[in-house]
């Protein structure tokens, strides 16, 4: 016994993956699952946004703005948000699916930094966001969209759309933590998302609306984000819009990131 005890004491301490390595590992896991569903990713993140853009431009362009060319200049920044925000629901459905299958129970018995299981998964979802944003932007450019803010404005607008989407995704990650079925996550998320998306300035200008309705829509978080997107793409942004647009998703992240991690850490004990 003393020999075995001496040999055990002489063994070097085990090294476990650190925070960055753990997060990268779970991001790779999510990317692997997405790669196995490449056709679904192409439909949801690329084809569907393109079809949506074409429908809105050619169905409503003449009626709302008088021409499709004029309308697409107004519409495209909003469509970028309209296509990328629904994809953030996957952060909740993926998490809920793993929890329902018992996968996360096994993860929590392993010696790694536990928040990495959520952080890595949400980080990898950015691939969907980037695919949707680039697909819409390329299609809009082919239809005649011309960003007056130049390349710098386009890059900043895309980065802001990613920031906003990542912060919003934590809301649905929290819902995924609180529900037991991925279908419930999708249904609940749509009830939250659709009023925010369509009761906004994504499709139409609010200047012709009644005062009370205009005020409500202008304070919609999606409207605030779309205003900054339009300002960045067309070079018309101002300091107030920039601070408000960036501050809003950061506030949401400051609330929902720790809340989601807390619920994830304590849900099995309740």
pLDDT of residue 198: 83
DSSP-derived 3-state class of residue 237: coil
Write the CA distances from 171 to 56, 253, 260, integer angstroms. Answer: 28, 8, 8
User: Looking at 64-73, 116-125, 221-230, 236-245, which range is the least confident one?
Assistant: 64-73
pLDDT of residue 6: 47
221 CA to centre of own chain: 14
Residue 208 DSSP label: T
The tens digit of pLDDT for each residue in 41-69 reads 778 778 888 888 888 888 877 666 667 88
Is residue 235 a contact partner of residue 228, using CB atoms and an 8 Å limit? no
Give just the sign of the alpha carbon dihedral 152, 153, 154, 156.
Answer: positive
The tens digit of pLDDT for each residue in 140-166 reads 999 989 999 899 999 999 999 999 999
Give the whole-angstrom CA distance, residue 236 versus residue 230.
8
Report the residue count for the chain. Answer: 270
Higher pLDDT among residues 249 and 68, named by residue: 249
């Amino acid at each position: 016994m003393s020999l075995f005890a001496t040999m055990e004491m002489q063994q070097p301490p085990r090294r476990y993956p650190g925070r960055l390595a753990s997060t990268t590992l779970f991001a790779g896991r999510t990317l692997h699952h997405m790669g196995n569903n490449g056709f679904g990713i192409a439909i949801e993140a690329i084809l569907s946004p393109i079809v949506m853009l074409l429908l809105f431009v050619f169905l409503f362009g003449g009626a709302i703005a008088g021409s499709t060319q004029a309308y697409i200049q107004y519409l495209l920044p909003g469509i970028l948000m309209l296509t990328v925000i629904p994809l953030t629901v996957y952060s909740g459905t993926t998490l809920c699916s793993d929890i329902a299958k018992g996968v996360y129970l096994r993860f929590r018995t392993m010696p790694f930094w536990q928040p990495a299981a959520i952080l890595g998964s949400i980080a990898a979802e950015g691939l969907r966001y980037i695919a949707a944003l680039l697909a819409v932007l390329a299609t809009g450019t082919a239809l005649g969209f011309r960003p007056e803010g130049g390349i710098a404005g386009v890059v900043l607008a895309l980065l802001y759309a990613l920031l906003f989407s990542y912060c919003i995704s934590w809301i649905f990650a929290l819902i995924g933590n609180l529900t037991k079925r991925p279908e419930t996550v999708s249904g609940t998320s749509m009830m939250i998302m659709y009023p925010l998306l369509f009761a906004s300035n994504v499709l139409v200008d609010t200047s012709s609306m009644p005062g009370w309705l205009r005020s409500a829509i202008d304070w919609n978080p999606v409207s605030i984000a779309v205003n900054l997107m339009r300002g960045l793409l067309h070079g018309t942004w101002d300091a107030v819009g920039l601070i408000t647009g960036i501050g809003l998703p950061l506030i949401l992240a400051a609330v929902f990131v720790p809340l989601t991690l807390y619920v994830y850490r304590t849900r099995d004990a309740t």
